[in-house]
């Protein structure tokens, strides 16, 4: 079973990397970009056949390792 986990910064958390990308796009002549925020994506291959068990495994993975839940949100998408 394949799953995709997306980890993004919470609103209000500063994102200097996103700001740098915004500046770089402007200097490359790409206009009309009002904001960029960068996050992480994890494409995960799971052995479980059951979606419910898979979701629990992924939730544990996010809480323990993939996301810093103080400043980041995560979303789990099971294909």
Residues that bind its own copies (CB under 8 A): 6, 8, 18, 21, 24-25, 28, 30-48, 57, 60-61, 64-66
Closest contact distance (angstroms) between CB of 40 and its own copies is 6
Enumerate residues 6+ apart whose C-beta is below 8 A from 59. 76
Closest approach, Cβ 33 to its own copies, in A, equals: 6
Supply the minimum distance, in Å, between the C-beta of residue 43 and its own copies: 5
Handedness of CA 48, 54, 56, 62 (dihedral sign): positive
The rounded distance, in Å, linking the Cα atoms of 23 and 77 is 31
């Amino acid at each position: 079973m394949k799953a995709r986990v997306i980890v993004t910064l919470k609103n209000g958390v500063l994102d200097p990397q996103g700001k740098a990308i915004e500046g770089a796009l402007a200097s490359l002549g790409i206009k009309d970009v009002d904001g960029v925020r960068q996050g992480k994506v994890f494409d995960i291959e799971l052995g479980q056949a059951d979606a419910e068990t898979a979701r629990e495994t992924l939730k544990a993975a996010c809480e323990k390792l993939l996301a810093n839940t103080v400043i980041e949100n995560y979303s789990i998408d099971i294909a």
